[in-house]
Amino acid sequence: MITYKRATSDKELHEILAIQKRNLKAHVSLQEREEQGYITVPHTFEILKKMNDASPHILAMDGDRVAGYALVMLRSFKYEMPILIPMFETADILLKGKNYVTMGQVCIDKPYRGQGIFKGMYTFYKEELSDTYDCLFTEVASSNIRSIEAHKNIGFKILETQVTDGTSWDMVNWDWNE
């Protein structure tokens, strides 16, 4: 049975990194990328822990095993990962006046896909953070069709598409007050 919680241990953070590594774009075949999606940005343990200390990540758990994760990235981390600075700059413009939180990355481990965990994690994300934030913002590679469609099904709307370093990104937002 899958349960949802906030990350509380270094063990859980290491499990996130293991899932992340297995699903990096560079580590999955083109066919798998098209059918299952992929992860673009790797994190270090240090940055993942700093992010978690500021606001714990969302986890889908199968007993004591991490089945999936949705990272919580506060605006204060804008300069921690240079590759994400353009995303934060865009969010600051598109969501001017809104108190937003950024979903830093989402991934379901392969054995757990197709079981509603993506929706379950986002539902839990909203339950946990909507009292503090107006909306949840993230970017998804435009070529990651599975992820774009999954985000739209949750309630995210594409606000803008932009190209950074040759990659097209859809800037998506889930307004929790609509």
Q: What is the pLDDT of residue 171?
A: 95
Q: What is the pLDDT of residue 97?
A: 94
| Segments of the chain assigned E as strands | 2-6, 58-62, 65-73, 100-108, 135-141, 157-164, 167-175
Q: What is the pLDDT of residue 130?
A: 97
Q: Set out the domains of the chain in order of their start, with CATH numbers.
A: 2-175 (3.40.630.30)
Q: What is the pLDDT of residue 141?
A: 86
144 or 47, which is more confident? 47
pLDDT tens track for 114-152: 999 999 999 999 999 999 999 999 999 888 888 899 999
